[in-house]
Structure formats: structure tokens, C-alpha cells
């Protein structure tokens, strides 16, 4: 449990709380259930993409093509729906397509022996061209509403998508903490050389992680279609960097070997909470990227700076 709620999570939770209090004081709308649901709804794709990114970073990899993978999966889901396929099947096609694309990225990294950032940078270009060529320059629009219930009808006040995302997090948590996959993944993240020497099938772990991350991006695509019923050329362009920011804010190390799922959730929530709150209090949306960058700098800077220990103690004492 101490592992689960380490220093960074406490810092982030406190940051979310402070931000929420400030916004609530400045705008009467902020704390209404409707608005909080909006924040959650706006977080769906990022929650899933950041979860996949967390796993990749923990393994010492990264995937900057994840947004384009979501885009391609979204085209698959959208076109199946438009072809009149049963919505449930079309919805499942999202994660499947994502997993296939993740396998491609994993194979290039694992067999091509090139750093993940370079490999996925290349794939980013290839996928982007792929999106354009499959769309043929037009948008997918007017996609049938078959999946809309996923994001609309609240079950106990929460859309089913959020429940599904919770289940995805739970599944990944079990995978990490209750199966050998977790320790193996972290071992590869710490040092793939040592992992190999200790008998871990490094290549298989690599492939599996990319496949899981891809499937999560594909699930994000299903929710994307359910929410927007439209695919345009620019789909997913900002997703990878936001996912990296969220995971790193949460306390996952990009050097590998360390990850926290709670931290990632808090990182996503903090980013979206700030975007929503700033708009509510009247700060133009153009400043949002600046705020995202500043948050990264502040959180990491605080931790790096001398004051970090004191701050951590300050946050921990009540607990």
C-alpha cells in the first residue's frame, strides 16, 4: 500500500485538490456533478493511452505513434459501423486492430534492434500516411450511433466507458502485480541485459507490452468513435505527448523499471482538470499547452530540487 500511495501520488492528489478548491472558489460551476462528469468524459482516450504509455515507459520503451494507431483503429471501427456490422463486434474490433498495430511497433523495436523512440517516430509517419490514404482525403462522418450508449447512458451516474476503463486498469494492475509478466516487464525496464541473463524472454515481453499498449489505444479508438462519430485527418495528433506527460507527472520513470497506475490516473485527471478549470475561470484555451508544460516542470522540478524531501514530508504527515 505504501508503494501504491508513494510521494508522487500524494503530491499529485494534493495538487488536484488544491486546483479543485481554487477553481471551485472562482467558478460556481466547477464542482457541479455535470462538470466533473465532463472532465471525466474528456479524459477517456487519454486515460487509456496513458495507461499503455505507462507500461511502455516502465519497460524502458516509448511509443510516439500511439495516437496514429488510435486513428487507424478508429477508422476500422467507424467503417465497420457504417457497413452495418453489429456494434458490439465493431467495438471489439478497435482493441484488436490496436493490438495488431502494437505488434508491428513491437516487432520493429524487438527485431530491428533500434530504440523505440526512433522506430515509433518512423511508424508515426507511415501510419499517418496510412490514415490519409484509407480516408482518401475525406472524413468519416455521420457514423451510426451504435456505440453511443457506451459514453452516454450513465450507470449510477457514470458512463459505461468509465467503468470499462476502470476494468482495464484493474486488469493491467493484476497483470503487473499478480503474474510474472509484471516483474519481468520491470526487469527489462531496469536492464534488458540483466533480464536476459536471468532467463527472461526479453523479446516476448517487449512484444507483449507493445501489444497491450496497442490494444489499449484501440479501446480508446472505440470510445473515440462512440463519442465523436467522426474521424478526421488530424485524429490522435496530440495524444502521444499528452500521454507521456500524464505518465511522467504520475511518477513513472522514462528510464524504465518503475511505474504507478494510480499516479498515471492522477496525472491524466490533473491535466484535464486544469484545462477544464482554466477555461471555466476565463483563461483562453491557447494557454493550455503552456500550463501542461509548466505543470511538468513544477512537479519534476520540485522533486529534483532541495525542497522535495520537505514537501513530501509535509504531504505525508497527516497520513
Partner 1 sequence: MTARLRQSPTLAILAGLWVLLVAGIALLSPGILTASTLTTILQFSSILALVSLGQALVILAGGAGIDLSVGGIVSLASVLAMMAVSAGLPATLLPLACLGIGLALGLGNGLLVTRLRILPLIATLATFYVFSGSAVALTGGAAQSGVPAAFTPWGRGALAGIPLPFLTLALPLFLVAGVVISATSWGRWLVAMGDNERSARLVGIPVDRARLIVYGLSGLASGAAAFVSLAWLGSARPNIGQNLELTSLTAVLLGGVSIFGGRGGVAGVLAAVLLLVTLQTALLRLNINTVWQVGIVGALLVAVLVADALTTRRR
Partner 2 sequence: MLRQLKLTLFAATLLATGALPASADPANTVAFVPQLIGIPYFNAMEEGGKKAAADLGVEFIYSGPVDTNPVDQLQIVQNLIDQGVGAVSVSVLDASTIAPVVEQAKAKGVKLFTSDSDAPDSGRAVYVAQATDQGLGYAIIDEMVERVGEEATVAIVSGEATASNLNAWIGFMQERAKDKYPKLTLLEPQYAGGAADRAAQIATDLMAANPDLKGIIGVASTTCPGVGQAIETAGKIGSVIGTGYCSPNTARSYLKSGSFGYSVLWDPAKLGYLTVWAGKQLIDGKPFEASVQLPGFDSPTTYDPATGILLLGEPAVFTADNVDQFDF
**Residues between 103 and 142 with contacts to partner 2, criterion CB under 8 A:** 128, 132, 135, 137-139, 141-142
**Long-range own/partner contacts, residues 169-174 (CB < 8 A, 24 or more apart):** 169/51, 169/261, 169/265, 172/51, 172/55, 172/212, 172/261, 173/261
Site for partner 2 in 253-292 (CB under 8 A): 275-276, 279-280, 282, 284-286
Q: Does 222 bind partner 2 (CB under 8 A)?
A: no
Output helix, strand, coil percentages for the chain, rounded to the nearest 5: 75, 0, 25
Residue of the chain from 55, 150, 245, 261 that contacts partner 1 (CB under 8 A): 245
Write the binding mask 31 to 70 for partner 2: x where contact by CB under 8 A, - elsewhere: -x-xx--x--xx--x-------------------------
- Nearer to partner 2 by Cβ, of 282 and 318: the residue is 282
Q: Shortest Cβ distance from residue 73 to partner 1 (Å)?
A: 18
State how far the Cα of 101 lies from the Cα of 70, in Å rounded to an integer: 9
User: What is the smallest separation between the CB atom of 158 and partner 1, expressed in angstroms?
Assistant: 30
> CA of 146: how far to CAs of 77, 81, 154, 318, in Å?
11, 7, 16, 48
Residue 115 contacts which entry, partner 2, partner 1, none (Cβ below 5-8 A, type-dependent): partner 1
- Residue 279 interacts with which of partner 2, partner 1, none, CB < 5 to 8 Å by class: partner 2
Cα distance between residue 270 and residue 75, in whole Å: 29
Here the cell at position 239 is 495524444
32 touches, from partner 2, partner 1, none (C-beta below 5 to 8 Å by class): partner 2
Residues 6+ apart with CB under 8 A from 263: 6, 8, 9, 12, 247, 249, 250, 251, 252
Residues 275-314 within binding reach of partner 1 (CB under 8 A): 284, 286-294, 296-297, 300-301, 304-305
Residue 128 interacts with partner 1 (CB under 8 A)?
Answer: yes
Amino acid at each position: 500500500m505504501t508503494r501504491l500511495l508513494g510521494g508522487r501520488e500524494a503530491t499529485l492528489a494534493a495538487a488536484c485538490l488544491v486546483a479543485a478548491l481554487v477553481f471551485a472558489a472562482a467558478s460556481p460551476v466547477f464542482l457541479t456533478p455535470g462538470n466533473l462528469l465532463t472532465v471525466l468524459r474528456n479524459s477517456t482516450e487519454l486515460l487509456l493511452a496513458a495507461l499503455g504509455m505507462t507500461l511502455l515507459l516502465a519497460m524502458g520503451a516509448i511509443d510516439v505513434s500511439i495516437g496514429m494507431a488510435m486513428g487507424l483503429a478508429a477508422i476500422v471501427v467507424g467503417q465497420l459501423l457504417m457497413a452495418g456490422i453489429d456494434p458490439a463486434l465493431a467495438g471489439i474490433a478497435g482493441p484488436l486492430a490496436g493490438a495488431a498495430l502494437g505488434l508491428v511497433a513491437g516487432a520493429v523495436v524487438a527485431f530491428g534492434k533500434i530504440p523505440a523512440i526512433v522506430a515509433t517516430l518512423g511508424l508515426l509517419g507511415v501510419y499517418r500516411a496510412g490514415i490519409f490514404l484509407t480516408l482518401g482525403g475525406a472524413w468519416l462522418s455521420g457514423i451510426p450511433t451504435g456505440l453511443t450508449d457506451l459514453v452516454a447512458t450513465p450507470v449510477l451516474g457514470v458512463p459505461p466507458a468509465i467503468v470499462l476503463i476502470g476494468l482495464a486498469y484493474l486488469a493491467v494492475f493484476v497483470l503487473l502485480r499478480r503474474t510474472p509478466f509484471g516483474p519481468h516487464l520491470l526487469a527489462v525496464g531496469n536492464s534488458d541485459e540483466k533480464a536476459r541473463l536471468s532467463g527472461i524472454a526479453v523479446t516476448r515481453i517487449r512484444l507483449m507490452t507493445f501489444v497491450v499498449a496497442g490494444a489499449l489505444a484501440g479501446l480508446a479508438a472505440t470510445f473515440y468513435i462512440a463519442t465523436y462519430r467522426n474521424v478526421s485527418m488530424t485524429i490522435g495528433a496530440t495524444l502521444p505527448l499528452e500521454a507521456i506527460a500524464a505518465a511522467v507527472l504520475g511518477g513513472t520513470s522514462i528510464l524504465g523499471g518503475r511505474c504507478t497506475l494510480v499516479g498515471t490516473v492522477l496525472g491524466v485527471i490533473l491535466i484535464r482538470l486544469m484545462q477544464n478549470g482554466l477555461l471555466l475561470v476565463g483563461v483562453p484555451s491557447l494557454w493550455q499547452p503552456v500550463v501542461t508544460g509548466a505543470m511538468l516542470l513544477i512537479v519534476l522540478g520540485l522533486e529534483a530540487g532541495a525542497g522535495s524531501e520537505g514537501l513530501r514530508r509535509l504531504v505525508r504527515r497527516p497520513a
